[in-house]
Chains A and B, each alone.
Chain A
Amino acid sequence: DAMVIQNPRYQVTQFGKPVTLSCSQTLNHNVMYWYQQKSSQAPKLLFHYYDKDFNNEADTPDNFQSRRPNTSFCFLDIRSPGLGDAAMYLCATSHDRGVGGYTFGSGTRLTVV
C-alpha cells in the first residue's frame, strides 16, 4: 500500500542534543511537509519541499532544519532541542497543492528530557 512512514514513532532526546526524525513516502508526491502539533493545539506547518525547493515558514525557529535527499525521503533536524520542542511531529505529502487532501504519516512523538 502506498503510504507515508515516519520513524521512529517515539523519540526521547536530551536537552540540547541534536535529533533527526525521518519520513519516507511511496506515493511519489512532489510536495512533502513537516507539521508540529503540541498537546491540544492545531498542527502547525514548519516548512515544506516542493520537489527540491525548500520553503520555510516565517515563524519557524532556526533550530529546525530539513533535508530532502530524494523524492521519497525527508528529514527533520532539531539542532538543539529545548523542552518547548516536545511535540508530535507529522510528516505529510501531497501532489502539488493538495487538492483532494494531504496524506499524513502516523507521526513521531518527541520527548525532551
Chain B
Amino acid sequence: DQQVKQNSPSLSVQEGRISILNCDYTNSMFDYFLWYKKYPAEGPTFLISISSIKDKNEDGRFTVFLNKSAKHLSLHIVPSQPGDSAVYFCAASEIGAGSYQLTFGKGTKLSVIP
C-alpha cells in the first residue's frame, strides 16, 4: 500500500512556463515533506522541503504548497528551464514521531521543451 503517491509518471512543459508536480499521501502522521530531483546515473538531490505547520515554502523558482486537509502537496517551478528536466520524487517523514524513514513516491519525469 503506497503511502505517498505521484500519479503522473511524466509531464512535459514548454520552457518559460510553469511546471506543477503533484503528490498525495495517505498517512496523516507525516509531518515533514521533501522534494528531490534526480538526473540519470546520479543520486537524488534535495530540492526543497516543508513542515506540516506551514502551507507554503519558496526558494527561488521553486515553491512547495501543502494542503493538509486534502493530504496533497505540489511543487511549482516558475519559469521552467531545460535544465529542470529530471525525475522528481516526493518524500514524507514522521519526524515528530521520531522516525528516520523517508517514504518516497515513484517519481514524475519532467521534460522541459526548449
A residues adjacent to B (C-beta < 8 A): 4, 6, 9, 31, 33, 40-45, 48, 50, 55, 57, 90, 92, 94, 97-107
Contacts and interface: CB of A to CB of B under 8 A. Distances in A.
Contacts of B44: 43, 90, 104
Interface of B: 2, 4, 9, 32, 34, 36, 41-46, 49, 89, 93, 95, 98-107
B100 A97 contact: yes
Contact of B49 (A45, A100, A107): A100
A105 B43 contact: yes
A104 B45 contact: yes
Nearest to B105: A42
Q: Which of B4, B34, B98, B99 has the most chain A CB within a 10 Å cutoff?
A: B34
A19 B51 CA distance: 39
Given A98-B102, A101-B34, A42 B46 contact: no
A94 B100 CA distance: 9
A107 B46 contact: no
Given A31-B100, A40-B106, A42-B2, A103 B46 contact: yes
B4 to A, nearest CB: 7
Given A31-B100, A42-B105, A42-B107, A99 B95 contact: yes
Contacts of B101: 45, 48, 57
Contacts of A48: 100-101
B93 A104 contact: no
Given A98-B93, A99-B32, A42 B100 contact: no
B49 A4 contact: no
Contacts of A45: 101-102
A100 B32 CA distance: 10
A97 B9 CA distance: 29
Contacts of B9: 40
Nearest to A106: B43
B100 A55 contact: yes
Nearest to A48: B100
6 contacts: A33-B100, A43-B104, A48-B100, A48-B101, A57-B101, A107-B42
